[in-house]
Structure 1
C-alpha cells in the first residue's frame, strides 16, 4: 500500500459514512433490498436505488456494479456479490474478486474513498477470520494499482469483528 493511502477498520453503521465517496453493498444476486447491509443501504438510499439496480441484475459471485447513492450521504454505491460459503467456489478467489472489483470501479468513478462492510460473513456464512484475511490482503495488495483511492475504511457491525479486522490489519503491517 502506498504511504499516502489510508486503511482503517472501525465499528459503525455503513449507511452513516458521510465522509466517504462510495460505500459497498454486500448485495444479493438480484441487487434487491434484503436483510443486513443490503437492506440497510436500500432503506437509507430510498426506492430510487432499487430502481437503478434492476437493469444491472443479476450479477455473479465476485462481480461488482455501481449506482448512484441517491439519499445516502455518498456519491456511489458499489454492489458486490460475495460467495455463499460452502456453495460458491473457489470461495477465496470469489471473495477477493469482490474487493478487487469494487476498488476497480471506485478508481473508474474517480472516488477518493471507499467504505466496505465485511462481505459474505452474514447470511452467506463465510468464516469471519478467513474473510478478514482475504479482504485486508486483497485491498492491501491492490490499493497501489488504484492511485486515485486515498482512503479505504472497513465498517464493521460489532466490536468483536472490528477487533478481529484491526488485529489482522496490524499483522500485515508488522510483516
Structure 2
C-alpha cells in the first residue's frame, strides 16, 4: 500500500492527478481551490464551466467528484471533490468526507491514474477539525488502496503542523 504524507505545494506535484478541495460551482475560490485554478491557468476554469450543472449553480454535489485536465499544472488531471462543511459532527460530515475519497479514487481509477495527491479536504474554510478529518481520510484510503493496490496516494499538507496531524493518523 503506497500511502504517504508530504509537505509541499499541491500545485507543484508531478503526479497523474491532484485533488482539488472545490466548492460546488467548480468555478474557483479561495485556499487550495484558488491556488489550483491560478496555477492551472484559464483552461481549468473553462473546463469546469463546461461541466453540466446538476442543480442551479452546482456542478459537483458534496461527496462527489469530477475530473478535468491539469492544463498548466505538472499533474495530468485535477479531480475536483466537494467536502462537507463542518456543522459539529452530527450531520453526516464523516460519511460525506469519506465519500469524497471514495468518489475521487473511483474516478481516478477509471482514468488509469496511478499516482494522486489529496489536500486536507474540508479542513480550511469548511472548518472540519483536522484530527478528525485525518482519521476519516486514512480509514477511507486504506480501504480503497486494498481495492486499488497499484495506486500511490499522497496526502499533501502545506505546512508541518498539518503534516504532523496527518502523519499521526497514518
Inter-partner Cα distance in structure 1 for 2:139 and 2:150: 19
Aligned to 2:67: 66
Moved beyond 6 Å, runs of 4+: none
Quick check: 1:28 aligned with 2:23? yes
* TM-score (structure 1 length as normaliser): 0.89
Unaligned runs of 5+ in 2: none
Matches within 5 A, 1:26-105: 26-56=21-51, 57=53, 58=58, 59-86=60-87, 89-105=91-107
Quick check: 1:6 aligned with 2:8? no
Cα distance 1:45–1:167, how it changes in 2: closer, same or farther (>3 A)? same
Aligned to 1:15: 11
Deviation at 1:87, TM superposition (A): 8.0
Aligned residues between the structures? 163
Unaligned runs of 5+ in 1: 170-175
Segment drifting more, 73-82 vs 139-148: 139-148
Structural RMSD (CA): 1.4
Deviation at 1:104, TM superposition (A): 0.3
Cα-to-partner distance string for 1:124-169 (whole Å, 9 max, x where unaligned): 00010000000111001111212442x1000001111101111110
Aligned to 1:121: 123
Aligned to 1:159: 160
Inter-partner Cα distance in structure 2 for 1:85 and 1:167: 21
Aligned to 1:173: none
